Amino acid sequence: MSKELFSVVPCSGIGKPFGSVSREAAYELCENLRPGETRLVALAKLVLGDAEARALVARHPAVTIDGCKQMCASKMVKQSGGTVAHEVAVLDVFRRHKGLKPEGIAELNEPGRKLARVLAEEVAEGLVRREG
């Protein structure tokens, strides 16, 4: 039985620690936790109307990981004709793990990297439940 493929669209909040956490979590999810079941889609490509990125989110349900209340990743997936299957806000995950305060922009501190890992693991677990 083949598993469902998900497009993963992280925040592109450059210069913000929560944006960095969203991107790190997306890499962790796509490269290590669910490599055969996910495809990373750059938010900037959706914003620019890239045909390949738009087609990917239109064909495959999306996991969006947003770094702030603006929810740009979720909004752009919907505007690009996609369906958001799993929406995550970094701030919500941080509220459950207050000891993992992310700092840094170009490079996250250790708590920030751990927060990204926790977020990615929660999303990966959610994908398993969705399939089952």
Q: Where are the domains of the chain?
A: 6-122
The CA angle 36-38-41, to the nearest 5 degrees, is 140
Q: What is the mean pLDDT of residues 10-33?
A: 93
Tell me how far apart the alpha carbons of residues 92 and 106 are, in angstroms, rounded to a whole number: 22
Q: What predicted TM-score, i.e. pTM, was given to this entire model?
A: 0.91
In the sheet with 84-89, reading across from the earlier edge strand, the strands are: 38-40, 6-10, 62-66, 84-89
**What confidence tens digit (pLDDT) does each residue in 46-105 have?**
999 999 999 999 999 999 999 998 999 999 999 999 999 999 999 999 999 999 999 987
